[in-house]
Amino acid sequence: MSETKTIDLNDLSKHVNETVLIQGWVHGIRGSNARQFLSLRSSGKIIQVLAEKEILGEELFSEIKHLKQEASLEVIGKLVENEKSPIGFELILSSYKKIGESENYPITPKEHGIDFLLSQRHLWLRSSKQLAIIKIRSELSYHIRKYFHENKFTLIDTPILTGSIGESAGTLFSTEYFDLGKAYLAQTGQLYLETAIFAHSKVYCYGPTFRAEKSKTRRHLTEFWMVEAESAYVSHAENIKLQEDFVKTVIRETVASCQAELKVLERDPAPLMEYISKPFALIDYKDALAHLQSQGEDIVWGDDINSEREQMLCQKYGGPVFIQKYPREAKAFYMKVNPEDPKTVLNADLIAPDGVGEIIGGSEREESYETITKRLEEEKLPVESYEWYLELRKYGSVPHSGFGLGTERLVAWICGLQHVRECIPFPRMMERLYP
């Protein structure tokens, strides 16, 4: 078998009408007494393998019929084009070798409950829809990095363990850190990212972040991946333009490269592409409040705009909407106060329709040493822990802005999924730490 060329399912077009060897796993099997159609999974794809009794003989054909789901194989045969195949090719089997047995595989073609599937996540990842979701996530991650690379942003790998609080002290995971007291799992890389704009002007980070928020909604995870960007000499208005271009670009390129995966998910990308073909709406928090109140919502200045209210605003504006200039007291200490209305800050959240909700939070950052020190004191945060951050405002401070986008929510929007738990290989939620 070793003399036959081993190929990858990503390279099928290079080997049409050749006899090849493919290594993979039995995804499924069906057929008759004369022909069996074996679905073989490899490289995140599934190829149909045609086994014919006339070619293989009675004994080998009988063995094929009794192969178990997820047995691992090496198959040899002629690769041919097949328009009916999801990937355009099939293999006409001439011989095979079993590599690993599989008995009583727990995930069968029947319906399973979500708790069972999440407990079997290590195996559920092999299923067709999960293959598609993870492939889309991979492509999206590539296009995110590509966007920043092409726009001359420098990648900065920010720490996961930190002594500083980036968001709210109530949503931190803490751990003892040798003799130095408590360390925290980072809620954001932003504070560290800001340090790098003074060296590289335009920077980004991309990695896991953690929120000990006791939330069980379909939009929340305790561990998720966030891409964050910071830019020197960039205003709040310019920051919003960058965010819109970024989101539209990575969605457009991911959809273009994942047509087959979207088809598996039965996700029609047309409505999504319609959304990104138009300018995103931009409204002030006070105007969002006025509209919601006009619709009978019991909401007052300073209240959070919850998920249901976010979707009401998306419906009004026919797609994604930036909500800007939130109340100062409701937002983080580092956001710049709006000089035209000191009750608000120069920030914006990008709200996606279809139940997805907020996918980006961004703002212009406060560049004044005195102002940001006062804000830390108001928030009752330990000023001494932020001395390194405050020093940025002492040595050549400049206006600057940034934003953060949660990968899983954007994956959910692209895939048309109702819950972010399927948008990451191993979801971490309040009630789930296994596997």
| pLDDT at res. 170 | 73
Q: What is the pLDDT along the chain (435 residues), one digit of tens a residue?
A: 457 999 999 999 999 999 999 999 999 999 999 999 999 999 999 999 999 999 999 999 999 999 999 999 999 999 999 998 889 999 999 999 999 999 999 999 889 999 999 999 999 999 999 999 999 999 999 999 999 999 999 999 999 999 877 666 678 999 999 999 999 999 999 999 999 999 999 999 999 999 999 988 999 999 999 999 999 999 999 999 999 999 999 999 999 999 999 999 999 999 999 999 999 999 999 999 999 999 999 999 999 999 999 999 999 999 999 999 999 999 999 999 999 999 999 999 999 999 999 999 999 999 999 999 999 999 888 899 899 999 999 999 999 999 999 999 999 999 999 999 999 999 999 999 999
Q: Identify each DSSP E strand in 315-392 by its residue range.
A: 321-324, 347-352, 357-365
Contact call for residues 348 and 323 (beta carbons, < 8 A): yes
Convert the pLDDT of each residue in 284-315 to its tens digit: 999 999 999 999 999 999 999 999 999 999 99
d(CA 78, CA 69): 23
Per DSSP, the three-state class of 76 is strand
Distance separating alpha carbons of residues 399 and 371, to the nearest angstrom: 14
The token pair that represents 74 in the structure block = 């090496």
Distance CA 196, CA 264 (A): 42
Rounded distance between C-alpha atoms, residue 415 and residue 267, angstroms: 6
Predicted confidence at residue 67, as pLDDT, reads: 97
pLDDT at 164: 74
Longest Cα–Cα distance of the chain, Å, equals 85
Question: What pLDDT shows up at residue 1?
Answer: 43
CATH architecture of structural domain 120-422: 2-Layer Sandwich (3.30)
* Nearest of 345, 350, 348, 371 to residue 360 by alpha carbon: 350
How is domain 12-100 classified at the CATH fold level? OB fold (Dihydrolipoamide Acetyltransferase, E2P) (2.40.50)
Domain ranges of the chain: 12-100, 120-422
Contact 402, 362 (CB under 8 A): yes
- Provide the residue type at 303 as one letter: D
Question: Is the separation of the CB atoms in 323 and 313 below 8 Å?
Answer: yes
Q: Are strands 202-210 and 223-232 parallel, antiparallel or unpaired?
A: antiparallel
Q: How far apart are CA 53 and CA 32, in angstroms?
A: 10
| Sheet hosting strand 321-324, strand order edge to edge | 154-155, 202-210, 223-232, 400-406, 357-365, 347-352, 321-324, 281-284
pTM of the model: 0.96
Q: How many beta carbons lie within 10 A of that of residue 350, not counting itself? A: 23
